[in-house]
Amino acid sequence: MGDSAGGVAGGNFERIRRVAEKLVMVGVLPEVIVLDSGDQAVWYSNSGNLKIEFDSQRCPFSSNVFQAPPGVRLVSGPVRPGQNPGAYKYRLSLNDMVVAQGEVLLREK
């Protein structure tokens, strides 16, 4: 007699197949990143070329465009000295297609 978990049935052993599970995170992008002075933002994509682009006239970092190939961490570097607290919007592109818009919030000291 077999058990409810599919063990032994009628004296014969049934094979239980186990399948490995792989975690896939689809569309998980933060809308807002909060930074204190001395902090830096880090983006990562293993699925395509990553590009982060801030407005050239309103960017809290030393460069307004950051790019990295798949599998490489994209680091903003520290916030520029003397930068005012506030919200700084950016566009995130994968393989040259804009897929999201985000915002970096700088906190006061």
- Gap between the Cα atoms of 14 and 12, Å rounded: 6
Select the more confidently predicted residue: 104 or 109: 104
Bridge-partner residues for 51, per DSSP? 67, 93
Domain that holds residue 52: 29-106
Q: Pairing between strand 12-13 and 32-35?
A: unpaired
Q: Smallest Cα–Cα separation from 2: which of 39, 12, 106, 51? A: 12
| Residue 18 belongs to a domain | no
Whether residue 47 lies inside any domain: the answer is yes
Average pLDDT score over the chain:
82
* CATH number of the structural domain spanning residue 54: 2.60.40
pLDDT tens by residue, 30-72 = 778 899 888 899 998 888 999 999 999 999 999 999 999 999 9
* 44 domain residue, yes or no: yes
**Structural domains of the chain, count:** 1
Closest to 27 measured CA to CA, from 105, 104, 103, 100: 100
pLDDT at 2 over 70: no
The pTM of the whole model exceeds 0.85: no
Residue 25 confidence class, pLDDT cut points 50, 70, 90: low
Q: Does residue 61 lie within any of the structural domains?
A: yes
